[in-house]
Amino acid sequence: MTYANLEQLSNVLKLTPQMINRHVKDHGMPRISRGEYDLVKCVHWYIDYLNERIKEASRGTESEAQGRQRLIIATADLRELELSVACAELIEIDVAVELWQKIAVTFRTKMMLIPTKLAPQIINCKDPNEAQLILETEIQEALLDLSQTKIDTSTLRRRERFGRFRPKNGRTSSKAKRKRVGG
């Protein structure tokens, strides 16, 4: 058995004394006592440690290549989505929500007009079937009218294109200073 102190071991392994102490503390490098090491065991441990690091690095190369491939695929998917938005095949969620809100408001307005319009006609009906027929006819007309209603989406598309450059809260980043101008 060959014993070595910290300085001798650091010269053999070409490591600083601090690195050797770190290997002892963090990675389990064998040590006899403070500042005293079994040279053969430490050299064998260090060779095994380096071999393990090489194996980890080679496994990392494969996963790194897979990571690059995933990044390339994700980038291509993102470009396709951006192209679909630019060609107006897709719209952003905020734009879709606003569009559906406009449709819901139009639908609600049309449906709320039905009782006002039909109340005088239905009150004079003596037969429930006649009242039902009047209601069904008016509802079908309102639904047909709704299906033929065109909602202006040009403002939505314009905002969609240029919305990325505007803050979401509608405010600008700089504040105006209120100072009097002139005398």
Indicate whether this model's pTM tops 0.75: no
Cα 80 to Cα 92: distance, rounded to the nearest angstrom: 14
Strand ranges (DSSP E) for the chain?
3-5, 36-38
Cα 53 to Cα 47: distance, rounded to the nearest angstrom: 10
Task: Say which range, 59-63, 81-85, 94-98, has the weakest mean pLDDT.
Answer: 59-63
Per cent of the chain over pLDDT 90 is: 25
